[in-house]
Amino acid sequence: MTHDTHGPALPTGRGPVSGAVRAYLAGGGGLPAEADVRAADPYGDDLQLALYVCYELHYRGFAGVDAEREWDPGLLAVRSLLEGCFLDALRADTPVHGTVDDAVRDILAEPAEGSGVSRFLRDEGRLWHLREYAVHRSLYHLKEADPHAWVLPRLWGRAKAGMAAVEFDEYGGGRAERVHARLFADLMEDLGVDARYGRWLDAGCAEMLAVVNLMSLLGLHRALRGALVGHFAAVEVTSSPASRRMADAMRRAGAGPAACFFYDEHVEADAVHEQVVRREVIGGLLAEEPHLAGDVAFGIGVTGHLEDRLADHLLGCWKDGRSSLYGAEGGPAS
Q: Are residues 136 and 236 in the same domain?
A: yes
Count of domains for the chain: 2
Is residue 84 assigned to a domain?
yes
Q: Are residues 77 and 124 in the same domain?
A: no
Q: Are residues 194 and 254 in the same domain?
A: yes
**308 contact partners, CB below 8 Å, separation of at least 6:** none
Q: For residue 112, is pLDDT > 70?
A: no
Measured CA to CA, the distance from residue 248 to residue 254 in angstroms comes to: 10
- For residue 5, what pLDDT is reported? 59
- For residue 215, what pLDDT is reported? 98
Is residue 123 assigned to a domain?
yes
Among the three residues 92, 119, 150, which one is the final residue of a domain in this structure?
Answer: 92
State the amino acid at position 280 in one-letter form.
E
Q: Which domain holds residue 295?
A: 98-328
- For residue 105, what pLDDT is reported? 84
- Return the percentage of the chain with pLDDT > 90, whole number: 82
- Return the percentage of the chain with pLDDT > 70, whole number: 94
Q: Are residues 231 and 85 in the same domain?
A: no
How large is the average pLDDT for residues 142-158?
97
Among the three residues 64, 92, 120, which one is the final residue of a domain in this structure?
Answer: 92
Q: Are residues 151 and 166 in the same domain?
A: yes
Q: Are residues 46 and 129 in the same domain?
A: no
Among the three residues 58, 92, 126, which one is the final residue of a domain in this structure?
Answer: 92
Query: Mean pLDDT in the chain?
Result: 92
Is residue 236 assigned to a domain?
yes
Q: For residue 110, is pLDDT > 80?
A: no
**Are 131 and 333 within 8 A, CB to CB?**
yes
Q: Are residues 121 and 146 in the same domain?
A: yes
**Of the given ranges (106-115, 191-200, 210-219, 315-324), which has the lowest mean pLDDT?**
106-115
pTM of the model: 0.94
Is residue 48 assigned to a domain?
yes
Q: Are residues 172 and 313 in the same domain?
A: yes
Is residue 10 assigned to a domain?
no
Tens of pLDDT along 181-237? 999 999 999 999 999 999 999 999 999 999 999 999 999 999 999 999 999 999 988
Taking the CB of residue 177, how many other CB atoms lie within 10 A of it? 8
Tens of pLDDT along 68-96? 999 999 999 999 999 999 999 999 999 88
Q: Are residues 132 and 170 in the same domain?
A: yes
Is residue 256 assigned to a domain?
yes
Q: Are residues 85 and 104 in the same domain?
A: no
Q: Are residues 85 and 102 in the same domain?
A: no
Is residue 11 assigned to a domain?
no
Is residue 1 assigned to a domain?
no
Q: Are residues 121 and 74 in the same domain?
A: no
Give the CATH number for residue 114. Answer: 1.20.910.10
**Of the given ranges (33-47, 269-283, 295-309), which has the lowest mean pLDDT?**
269-283
- For residue 106, what pLDDT is reported? 83
